[in-house]
Structure 1
Amino acid sequence: MQQYGISPETLEESQDLSSFFKILTTSTDKNDKVYVSTVHAYHYPVTAFQWHPEKTAFEWGLPMIPHSEDAIHVTQHIANFLISEARKSLNRPPIQDVLDNLIYNYSPTFCGKAG
Structure 2
Amino acid sequence: MSKDTVLFLFFIAIFQCFLSTKSYNSGTGIIPLTQLHHDSLVSLPVSCPPPDRSLYYQPVIGILSHPGDGAFGRHSNATGASFIHASYVKFVEAAGARVVPLIYNEPPEMLLKKLELVNGVLFTGGSVKDGLYFETVGTIFKKVLEKNEARDHFPLYAICLGFELITMIISEDDNILEEFKAKNQASTIQFVESAHIEGTVFQR
The TM tier, using the shorter chain, reads: 0.3 to 0.5
Would you tell me which structure has more strand in proportion to its own residues?
Answer: 1
The structure with the larger Rg is: 2
Q: Provide TM-score, normalisation by structure 1.
A: 0.34
Q: Provide TM-score, normalisation by structure 2.
A: 0.22
